[in-house]
Structures are given as C-alpha cells and as structure tokens.
Amino acid sequence: MKFKLTFWRVVFIVIMGLGLYSTLIRFFYGLGAVSNMSDQFPWGLWIGFDLLCGVMLAAGGFCIVGAVYLFNVERLHSVVRPAVLTAFLGYCLFIVGLLFDLGRPWYIWHQLIYMNPHSVMFEVGICVMSYTTVLFFEFLPNVFERFNLKTPIKWIQKIYPVLIILGILLSTLHQSSLGALYLIMPSKLHPFWYTPALPFLFFGSAIAVGLAMTIFESTQSAKAFGRHLELPVLVELGGALLVALWVNALLRFEDYFHRGLLGQIVKPSYEAYFLWLELTLAFVIPITLLSFKKVRLSPGGLYLASVCTVLGFITNRLNVSVIGFETYAGHHYLPKWTEFSVTLMIVAAGFALFGLAVKYLPIFPEVRVPVKPRLRSETGPAVSTPVLGHAGD
Amino acid sequence: MSKALLYDSTICIGCKQCESACAQQNKLPYDDKVAAEPVQSAHKFTVVLTKDDKFMRRICMHCEHPACASVCPVGAMHKTKEGPVVYDVWKCIGCRYCMVACAFAQPKYEWQSLNPRIRKCIMCPDRVVAGKQTACAEICPTGATKFGERDDLIKEARDRIRQNPANYVPRIYGLNEVGGTSVLILSSMNVEEYGYPASAKIGDTPIPEYTGRVMEKVPDFIPVWTLVLGGIYWVSHRRQEVAAAEAEEKKNGSAT
C-alpha cells in the first residue's frame, strides 16, 4: 500500500518524534530533567492526567458492559466492543504512562510481593493489574473472531459471567480508590476538593464520563470510519448521561452544603475560578443541553454535551491533583513541555491503536469494507482521529 | 518504650553542628555551600533555620502513626519499635506517594538520579538499636537536641515550661499532632513561623486513619458487591430465560 503524507499524519509523526525525545530525556537524565516536578510538587501532570484522567476516560468499558450484560440493555449491544477496546487500550497506555512517572519502574513488580494492604495505592495497583487482565480476556474474542477460531471463543463465553462481574467489581474498587488516594492529605488539598466523599465522587463521575466517552467515540468513529451513526443508541446513552450528571451534581451540592462551603465557592479566588470552570463544563452546560429534548435527539447536541462532560471532569481531576495543591505548595506548577509531549505521545498512540484495531478486527461488525477515502474538508472537530484511522495503511 | 528527640529552640545557638554530624552519619556531602542552604533536600536531612536571632531545627518528625508508611504500596517505610521511621530502598518503586502524604513534607526525592531514592532523616536506627544517641543529639554542644525515652522527654519538656513559662510558647509541638510524633519541639515562637504546619490544620488524628476508614471497608465490600452484581446478573438473565420460554410456549400453544 502506498504511504501518503496527509496533514494529520504529519501531526502524528511530529507528536511521536517529540515524545521519543522526551522519553530519552526521561530515561537518560531522570525525572528532574524531564519534568517540573519537585520536592514541593511531587505529583504532576503524569499522575493528574495520565493516571486520574486516563482511568476515568476508560470507564466506558465497565459502564457499557454492565448495562448490556448485567442489566440486559440489549439496545446498547453495538457499543460494547468499541467501549471494551477503548478501556483495554486506555489501561495498557495508562500502565505505560506509569512507567514514565515511577522513579524506579523496573521494580513495579514489587507490588506483587511486598504488599501493603493499608495502602490505597496498593489497592489501585492490584485492581488495575487485574482489571487490565480481565479486559484482555473481554477483548480477546475480537482476535479469535478475526482468525475464525471458534473453540477459544466458546471458552471465553463460558467464563464471560465471571469476567463481567469481576470487571465491574474491580472497576468499582479502583475508580473510587483513585479518589481515596487523596484522602490522606487533609491538610494539603484545598477544601474545595478535599472531602471524605472523594471516593464516591470519583466513582460517580467515572460513570458519567464513561457514558459521555461512549457517545464521543461512537460519533467520532462514525465520522472517521464512514460508519452510519446509530442515533437510537446515542439517544439512549444521552438520557443515561443526563441522569448520571444530575446524580453527580446533587452529590457535589450535598457535599458543599454539609461542609458549609456554599458561601465560599461563589467568592472569587484562584481556586474558585478553576472550580467554576469545572462545574460549568461538567454540569451546567451538559445538563442544560441535555434537558432540551431537541438536543437530546440530535447527534450534534449529544456530541457537544458529551465533549463538555469529558472536559469538565478532566478539569475536575486536574483540580484535585494539581490546582488544589498550589496554595499549599506555595507556588504554581506548570508542566514542562517534555511532560506534555509524553502525555500527547501516549494519547496519540491510543488513537492510532484504536484506528488499527478497528481496521483489522471486527470491532464494528458492520464495517467490513475497506475504509473509504475521506475528504479533507470533513475533518472539522475530528481532531486526530482521521490520521489515526489511516495510521496503519 | 520508644525513643524520641526533644529539640528546645531556646537553648539552640545555631551552630549547625547537627547538620554536619547528620551529613557525616548519612554519608552526604557537607560544605559551606550546603550549610547555607535554608531548605531540606535529598542531600540535607536536617536544617537549622534562623529568624532574627532565633533558631529552629527542621527534621523528620517520626510520627507515631506515620502516613508515609501507611501509604507506601510496597511497604518500603515502616516505624520500628524503637521509634525511628525507616526506609528500605530496595523495595521502593518510586511512586512518591509518601511525599504527598506526609503532613510535614519530609520525604525528599533524588530528582536528578536515574535510580532515585526517597531521602529523609531516619533517626540513626543503627545507633539507636545499639543503645547510642542519634548523631545530632550526640554532637549538640548545648543539649538543644536531646535524645531519650519519649515519656521521659515529655516530662522534661513540661518541667521546662513550668519552670520558665516566660521563655516558652506553652505547648509541646509533636505531643499530640497527628497522633503524636517521636520528635518533640519546644520554642519561644510559634513553630508555624518556621514552616511547620499549624497544629489546628493537621489535627490530632493519626493521618493513616483518613484512608484507613475507607480501606477497612474493602474486605467487606468485595463479597457484598460481588453478591449484588451476581444477583443482578442472575435476575436479569433469569428474566430473559423466562421470557424466551414463555414466547416458546405461546408459539407452541398457538400452533396446536
């Protein structure tokens, strides 16, 4: 096949090149050279985005699997495979990200032998390892199907109920535990984000983001791979998203109300600006949008609402992990460009692998025909997906 | 009985001999340049701060219930029964959770290293086990840093405050903070002015309890949640089976 240099491919290559440079800096000169982390700011972008956001964005896997296999919502069946794929890739890449952030990544297996059951980090580690394994098995049927291997599919089908229940159990545990990680710092994290309810808030928002991400990636892949958009599925997800957002919003309100912070959060301050940004993106815009039936039934409206939700909760995770510490640390932390480039490289690799998987595996069963060439003008908000859709050409 | 250090800033003359003894004990470089550094770091475990003509030492507090030890996923930190909170470098994976968890911001990191370690005062555990004082206490010319049994030191600190109330802020910092620490501080000024976290802010609750309250529920949560999920799965699939069977029956019924 002939390799054509399109705009998005150039972007992809540049991202990968810079990422590779940063990787070399990281592993030949150390964390101090590659990042702006310091003794005052021991956790930076890689924990805030790669870990917290990465795991949250991959929550669609357990949400959709739960809806379809646990609650028998058959209508969502067509989004199970892309959701599981996203989750599997997300967790693999998050583990790659962790290898950058850990100071001594070659000892990561110590988790398995020197266990400290009191540590939330230990729980997260074990759950993530186990859940990635579960996702691997949930993903395997795609590969078996591709090569027409019937027997192993049957084996997987036999253990499927166990995989489903185990997957949801592990997800519940570690999605909430990521919030519990921050419970240890009552005197450091800003009260806007430090609350005993953190585990609940993290779990609740993971479900909302899981639904939003599924809408986002369905719309995106419809554009990128020339699939037809399954609007009824998206409408169903949009309705669920609205409910999930309301539940989350009520939880947040309750939390601020009980801790007597309602007066403080409306007063302008450095933290308040970021909180407002977070609340507007995560709640105000998507809830308003989705409350209109007309929006809830339109692909564009659903897309916009889900993108806002995702951005809002990304802001939330970064507030918890970065903004909420700045007052305590006494200085602002802005990641070095090399930190950004490693994160970008990992995200871009995720898009590329997703594209490759869709191309070579029966992720969207109806897409059997080769991807039809796309028009340049179609790109629009599709950001890097188009390139990546062709990344394997 | 566990050992502790009592630091009385009113007796301290700011000679920084504790800094150099500490560096020597831990095989760290120490020269005029390091001596002038007013912060703790991976190569400076203790620092004597100067404000006006008063001094204050900063050092790992060796909490009775150390947050660093409770959060470490591989258990690389632990509190020994003698008092010191020590670090097993060979276990460490470098996640830096201890650094974020510590209320006193004591663990520091070798940011420039390719195989970085967490560094902090470990209260000379070898010397303590051997029945000797810590290096800093031994060298202190005025007794500002005193080594001994924690209970005895608390008694002594109380006596000093009682005998000389004008000299002291009437409290022992570290007595109850975060559940008590093995380093106790007496001072004529509020220790907060030297960067120590305010007592009111960190509270008397041992820090590990904040996550412990959640973690202790996990062993119960796992079986309960598994049962709930399994139950939902069973119910919804049973429903499906029944619906299928009924449909089948209807079909057969209408056929006959």
| Of the partner residues B67, B211, B239, the one whose CB lies closest to the CB of residue A180 | B211
Q: How far is the CA of A74 from the CAs of A177, A214, A234, B235, in angstroms?
A: 30, 16, 13, 15
Nearest CA distance, A248 vs chain B (angstrom): 20
Are A70 and B229 within 8 A, CB to CB? yes
The whole-number average pLDDT for the span A142-163 is 88
Q: State pLDDT tens for residues B135-159.
A: 999 999 999 999 999 999 999 999 9
Q: Determine the Cα–Cα distance for residues A175 and A197; give it in Å rounded to an integer.
A: 13
Nearest CA distance, B164 vs chain A (angstrom): 32
Residues B225 and B109 in one domain: no
Q: Where are the domains of chain A?
A: 44-370
Are A187 and B116 within 8 A, CB to CB? no
User: Residue A389: its pLDDT value, please?
Assistant: 36
With cut-offs at 50, 70 and 90, classify the pLDDT of residue A366: low
Residues B67 and B142 in one domain: yes
User: Residue B179: its pLDDT value, please?
Assistant: 94
Are A125 and B237 within 8 A, CB to CB? no
The whole-number average pLDDT for the span A223-247 is 89
Q: Shortest CA distance to A316 belongs to which of A211, A213, A217, A192?
A: A192
Are A118 and B99 within 8 A, CB to CB? no
Q: Determine the Cα–Cα distance for residues A26 and A240; give it in Å rounded to an integer.
A: 42
| Of the partner residues B197, B210, B230, the one whose CB lies closest to the CB of residue A184 | B210
The whole-number average pLDDT for the span A199-217 is 95
Q: ∠ CA A334-A336-A338 to the nearest 5 degrees?
A: 150
Are B71 and A119 within 8 A, CB to CB? yes
Task: Say whether pLDDT at A207 is over 90.
Answer: yes
Q: Determine the Cα–Cα distance for residues A157 and A166; give it in Å rounded to an integer.
A: 14
Nearest CA distance, A238 vs chain B (angstrom): 23
Are B233 and A164 within 8 A, CB to CB? yes
The CATH number of residue B160's host domain is: 3.30.70.20
Which tokens go with B197?
Answer: 């976290």
Q: Is B93 inside a domain boundary?
A: yes
Can you give the pTM of this predicted structure? 0.89
Are A125 and B73 within 8 A, CB to CB? yes
In the three-class reduction of DSSP (H, G, I as helix; E, B as strand; rest coil), residue A181 is classed as helix
Residues B55 and B122 in one domain: yes
Q: Determine the Cα–Cα distance for residues B190 and B54; give it in Å rounded to an integer.
A: 11
Q: State pLDDT tens for residues B186-200.
A: 999 999 989 899 999
Q: Where are the beta strands (DSSP E) in A214-344?
A: none
Average pLDDT, rounded, for chain B: 92
User: Residue A287: its pLDDT value, please?
Assistant: 96
Residue B104 neighbours by CB distance under 10 Å: 25
Residues B101 and B141 in one domain: yes
Mutation site for A-interface testing, chosen from B40, B192, B214 by largest number of A Cβ within 10 Å: B214
Instruction: Identify which has the larger pLDDT, A374 or B14.
Output: B14
Residues B40 and B117 in one domain: yes
Residue spans of alpha helices (H) in chain B: 17-25, 32-36, 67-71, 97-101, 125-129, 135-139, 150-163, 199-202, 208-215, 218-255
Are A37 and B93 within 8 A, CB to CB? no
Task: Say whether pLDDT at A238 is over 90.
Answer: yes
User: Residue A372: its pLDDT value, please?
Assistant: 40
Nearest CA distance, B212 vs chain A (angstrom): 7
Nearest CA distance, A328 vs chain B (angstrom): 10
Residues B238 and B160 in one domain: no
Task: Say whether pLDDT at A142 is over 60.
Answer: yes
The whole-number average pLDDT for the span A351-375 is 69
Q: Determine the Cα–Cα distance for residues B109 and B89; give it in Å rounded to an integer.
A: 12
Tally the domains of chain B: 2
Q: In chain A, which residues have their Cβ closer than 8 Å to the Cβ of B230?
A: 165
Task: Say whether pLDDT at A379 is over 50.
Answer: no
The whole-number average pLDDT for the span A41-53 is 93
The whole-number average pLDDT for the span B68-83 is 94
Burial of B33 (0-12, 13-18, 19+ CB in 10 A): exposed
Q: Shortest CA distance to B101 belongs to which of B58, B63, B57?
A: B63
Return the residue of A nearest to B77 by Cα.
Answer: A116
Q: Shortest CA distance to A218 belongs to which of A392, A361, A358?
A: A358
DSSP track, B95-127? --HHHHH-TT---EE-TT-SS--EE-----HHH
Return the residue of A nearest to B214 by Cα.
Answer: A180
Q: State pLDDT tens for residues A246-266.
A: 999 999 999 999 999 999 899
Burial of A22 (0-12, 13-18, 19+ CB in 10 A): buried
Q: Is B78 inside a domain boundary?
A: yes
Are B214 and A183 within 8 A, CB to CB? yes
Kindly give the pairing relationship between strand B145-149 and strand B3-8.
antiparallel
The whole-number average pLDDT for the span B29-41 is 92
Instruction: Identify which has the larger pLDDT, B52 or A89.
Output: A89
Q: Are B23 and B30 in contact (CB under 8 A)?
A: yes
With cut-offs at 50, 70 and 90, classify the pLDDT of residue B244: confident
Return the residue of A nearest to B89 by Cα.
Answer: A104
Q: Is B212 inside a domain boundary?
A: no
Q: In chain B, which residues have their Cβ closer than 8 Å to the Cβ of A40?
A: 105
In the three-class reduction of DSSP (H, G, I as helix; E, B as strand; rest coil), residue A335 is classed as coil
Q: In chain B, which residues have their Cβ closer than 8 Å to the Cβ of A29?
A: 112, 114
Which tokens go with B9?
Answer: 């800033």
The whole-number average pLDDT for the span B157-164 is 94
Return the residue of A nearest to B232 by Cα.
Answer: A70
Q: State pLDDT tens for residues A294-341.
A: 999 999 999 999 999 999 999 999 999 999 999 898 888 999 999 999
In the three-class reduction of DSSP (H, G, I as helix; E, B as strand; rest coil), residue B54 is classed as strand
Range(s) of the domain holding residue B90: 3-207
Average pLDDT, rounded, for chain A: 88
User: Residue B87: its pLDDT value, please?
Assistant: 95
User: Residue A2: its pLDDT value, please?
Assistant: 64
Are B215 and A103 within 8 A, CB to CB? no
